[in-house]
Structure 1
C-alpha cells in the first residue's frame, strides 16, 4: 500500500512540474490575454500611488502589484513580464515542496 501512495505522489509531483513548464512556455507562444491580465496590465501602467490605491480594492493582494511595479522598469515587454512574474509563486511553491518531499520521503532525483 505504501508503494502505491509513493508512486501516486511522484506522479502528481511530475504533473505539477509539467504544469509549471507549460506556465512558463505559454507566454512565449502567444499574446492572448484574458480580462484579469488586462486589468493587471492596466493597473501597473498607472502611476504608482494611483495604482496602489486601486490595488487595495482588488481581489489580489497589493504585494502582488508591488512586485510587478518593481520589475516593470526593466524595459522588457510588460505583458510577457507580467505573465512570467505570475508564475514565480507557483515555482517557489514547487521548490519548497520538492525539498520537503525529498526530506520526508527520502526521494532521490
Structure 2
C-alpha cells in the first residue's frame, strides 16, 4: 500500500477515537469503548505501517513522543470513568490530538 492510503486510514482511526470520546461523554459507555478501541487499533497498525513504508527509524524522538501521546489517548477514557470533569477530558484530548498532528506533519526533532 502507498503511504497515502496508510495516512488516510490513520486519520480514520483517529476519527474513531474521538467518536469514542464523544460517545463516552454522552453516557454510552459500551459503544464508546468499541469506537475508542477500534480507532486506537486502526491508528496503531496504520501508523507503524506508514513508518515502515517511509523507512523512518523507530528511535526518532518525535516518533517516541507520538507513541507516548498515543498511550495518553488510550488512557483518557479511564479518567472520564473515574469522574474527572468532562471539560478536562475534552481539553486534554484536543491538546493531545493537536500535538499528535503537529508532530506527524512537522517532525520537529
| TM-score over 0.5 for the pair | no
**TM-score bracket relative to the smaller structure:** 0.3 to 0.5
**Alignment TM-score, normalising by the size of structure 1:** 0.35
Structure with larger Rg: 1
